[in-house]
Amino acid sequence: MKNIIEQLERYIEEALVLHDLPGLAVSVNVGEKGPKSLAGLNLKKAIGVKDVTTKEPVEMDHVFHMASVSKLFTSAGILRLCQEGKLSLEDRLKDVLPFVSIADQRYGEIQIKHMLTHTSGMADVEDYHWDTPKTDENALKGYALSDEVKDSHMLWSPSENKFRYSNMAYELLGLIIAERSGQTYEDYMKTVILQPLGMENSTFLTFERAGGSLKLEDLSKAHMAMPHTKDEEKHIVLEQHYPYNREHGPSSTLTSNLEDLGKWARVHLEQSFFSPETYEAVWTRYATVPNNGEGMGLGWFMRHQEDCDIYGHEGTDIGFRASFWICPKLDAYVIVTSNISGGAVKKINKKLFQMLIHSV
């Protein structure tokens, strides 16, 4: 056990330099049901800086923007409503949100399952407006009624079952959660998922962390890692804006840390969040991602790495990258977060899983 932990730590330290990252926070965990040689492994490591201008080091409890890892929570909310009989995967979007429309006759074919699996044919968000964020409760519904949605062009019919990643679809899924639950999207996430799991350091309302402010200096005081990018000379510099806009809460705005995401990983490794039937549906391949051959389940991506099936999601927005994957066979999860646009977190995550697999 000591040897593999040392190897993992050494690789993480090398990865920070190799991939030229400002900061890196990593959690590698293997439960008691994992292989005997790895069972009980629990490594958390934070290295680098949370802000290149202050050189303040990253700490293990620092909060990072999780970007599209948020979609795992949105899909979970939809599936919970389905389990409760308040929704069905076969429900049509136009029936569930009758006040929303897309100027395309194929719009009427879109079902909730198509949106969860990115097979709806819907367009993607073109501009998240991080520079002019909205924080009011009506922001999400306002986006659903916006010209970007209304005038968007569908690429194909859902019946063609083609994969096309759509953040727009997930914003509408979030609105469905709000409409069917009678709560705001963020309140539903908090009361049904975050609070019951003890995820006290997680929220979809980033601005509340700093008393309503989204200024970097205020968020930094709230124990948050700062967003970075690279300038034309490849120097690491701060991004101008934090990636938050309540219009895009369901697709993109979870902020969390390693401890909380570990709780999210563990509840799914134990398969205690959904019914057995729902888990079977969640991790069924409904489509194939063209560029990498990964499978698409109900909100979860799936890949086969050596002899292991691994489920998870990537996250990428300005200033941050996140990589969240679990492996039921190993009873393990690997979480990698970094505070820079385009950081190679998926590559790091896959390497860490490879090291675990080869240690069995």
Asked whether the predicted pLDDT for residue 57 surpasses 80, the reply is yes
Q: What is the pLDDT of residues 16-41, one digit of tens each?
A: 999 999 999 999 999 999 999 999 99
Asked whether the predicted pLDDT for residue 141 surpasses 80, the reply is yes
Q: What is the pLDDT of residues 241-268, one digit of tens each?
A: 999 999 999 999 999 999 999 999 999 9
Assigned token pair, 285:
């391949």
| Residue in the block written with tokens 């005081």 | 221
- Nearest 5°: the CA angle 44, 59, 228 is 110
Please state whether the predicted TM-score (pTM) of the whole model is above 0.85: yes
Q: What pLDDT, on the 0 to 100 scale, is given for residue 315?
A: 98
Per the DSSP assignment, residues forming a β-bridge with 308 are 305
Assigned token pair, 267:
């509840």
- Nearest 5°: the CA angle 251, 257, 258 is 115
Asked whether the predicted pLDDT for residue 190 surpasses 80, the reply is yes
Q: How confident is the model at residue 160 (pLDDT cuts 50, 70, 90)?
A: very high
Q: What pLDDT, on the 0 to 100 scale, is given for residue 360?
A: 86
Mean pLDDT of 206-222: 98
Mean pLDDT of 132-143: 98
Q: What pLDDT, on the 0 to 100 scale, is given for residue 2?
A: 77
Mean pLDDT of 176-188: 98
Output the CATH code of domain 2-69+191-358: 3.40.710.10
Asked whether the predicted pLDDT for residue 188 surpasses 90, the reply is yes
Q: What pLDDT, on the 0 to 100 scale, is given for residue 1?
A: 76
Assigned token pair, 73:
């929570």
Q: What pLDDT, on the 0 to 100 scale, is given for residue 226?
A: 98
Asked whether the predicted pLDDT for residue 98 surpasses 90, the reply is yes
Mean pLDDT of 52-63: 98
| Residue in the block written with tokens 């719009």 | 107
**Residue-averaged pLDDT of the chain:** 97
List, by residue range, all CATH 3.40.710.10 domains of the chain: 2-69+191-358
